[in-house]
Chains A and B, each alone.
Chain A
Amino acid sequence: MAGDRIERDVLIEAPIDVVWEVISRPEQIVHWFSDEAEFDLRPGGEGVLTFEMKATDQPAAYHLRFEAVEPPRRLAYRWVYPGGEEPRPGNSMLVEFTLAEEGGRTRLTVVESGLDLMPWPDDEKQGYADSHDKGWAQHLQRLCAYVPAAADRPVA
């Protein structure tokens, strides 16, 4: 598999503004993503996505912070970072939506990344020079090589 990032896209038979509404308005987000959504839609704005946990009946709340809010072409936020910490490259996942017009239709691309963006602290760079190009992608390939059947097994 791709490894260091997940990239997916879809072609939608609707104008770009409509697609923007669906990905950026809380009342639409609850129809395709979390069970509840509440946020301040502006660069640096924060919010919470809440998922119902069927196993425990306890809701799981994920904080997010917008990195980019550029209607109707780009929306990016960081999420999954430790409570009490500021989201930043190195402790969070980055989700980026890109919208592009294609003859009246809209191409929506989503990239979720994070692991390959993790910065290497300077004091750890020494001695790693030879392995610096070994990013998450290669690491994942190793994992998959270690468990060759993993990639083909159905998701639990």
Chain B
Amino acid sequence: MSAPALEREQELWAALAEPSRLRVLDVLLDRGEATPTALARQLPLTRQAVTKHLAVLARVGLVEGRRQGREVRYVVEPERLADGARQLHAVAAQWDRRLAAIKRIAEAVHARRQLAAGDR
């Protein structure tokens, strides 16, 4: 399997693993773009908490901040979201490949042992 792909996928999942961060992203998706102040008004979170969550989302590329005067306006990055959806599919595909490998190995071990038992 590809370790870099695993790493990217896990970074993304970790960024989304926090429920209030997911809510921040959700509200931002609704609004298209917003400042931390505006998001905090819509969520039971302080502006500081919203800012922290946005920083994590920005680090994995899910949102982008654009400075406008004294405030930063955040927008969702559609490409990265698409990436996220693809990666979730990739996790499923990865497990399919791993299960196929487990099947191959277990059946080979079993066949070898049956052969060995037959020889005795």
A12 touches B95 (CB 8 A): no
Q: How large is the interface on A (under 10, 10 to 19, 20 to 34, 35 or more residues)?
A: 35 or more
Tell me which of B7, B20, B85 contacts A53 (CB under 8 A): B7
A8 touches B96 (CB 8 A): yes
Scan residues 131-156 of chain A and give those whose CB is less than 8 A from a CB of chain B: 131, 134, 136, 139-140, 142-144, 146-147, 149-151, 153, 155-156
Tell me which of A11, A60, A139, A150 contacts B22 (CB under 8 A): A139
Is B29 an interface residue when CB atoms closer than 8 A count as contact? yes
Tell me which of A2, A80, A119 contacts B14 (CB under 8 A): A80
When chains A and B are docked, how far (Å) is the Cα of A156 from the Cα of B110?
35
When chains A and B are docked, how far (Å) is the Cα of A114 from the Cα of B102?
23
Residue interface bits B64-95, CB-to-A below 8 A is 1, else 0: 00000000000010100111111111111101
B17 touches A33 (CB 8 A): no
A10 touches B13 (CB 8 A): no
B interface residues with partner A (beta carbon < 8 Å): 1-7, 10, 13-14, 16-20, 22-23, 26, 29, 44-45, 76, 78, 81-93, 95-96, 98-103, 105-107, 109-110, 113
Residue interface bits A120-138, CB-to-B below 8 A is 1, else 0: 1101101110010010100
Which residues in A have their C-beta under 8 angstroms from that of B17?
90-91, 114-115, 118
Tell me which of A6, A22, A128 contacts B102 (CB under 8 A): A22
**Residues A139 and B89 in contact in the complex (CB < 8 Å), given A14-B107, A33-B98, A60-B7:** no
Tell me which of B3, B13, B96, B102 contacts A19 (CB under 8 A): B102
B101 touches A112 (CB 8 A): no
Tell me which of A1, A33, A108 contacts B89 (CB under 8 A): A1
Would you give 21 A-B contacts (Cβ < 8 Å), ordered by A?
Answer: A6-B95, A10-B103, A14-B106, A15-B110, A23-B102, A32-B101, A60-B3, A60-B7, A106-B106, A112-B91, A115-B13, A136-B22, A142-B29, A146-B29, A146-B76, A147-B81, A150-B84, A150-B86, A153-B82, A155-B87, A155-B90
Which residues in B have their C-beta under 8 angstroms from that of A52?
3
Residue interface bits A40-63, CB-to-B below 8 A is 1, else 0: 000000000001111110001000
Which residue on B lies nearest to A2, using beta carbons? B92
- Shortest CB-to-CB span from A60 to chain B, Å, is 5
Is A69 an interface residue when CB atoms closer than 8 A count as contact? no
When chains A and B are docked, how far (Å) is the Cα of A142 from the Cα of B26?
9
When chains A and B are docked, how far (Å) is the Cα of A142 from the Cα of B16?
14
**Residues A14 and B109 in contact in the complex (CB < 8 Å), given A53-B3, A150-B82:** yes
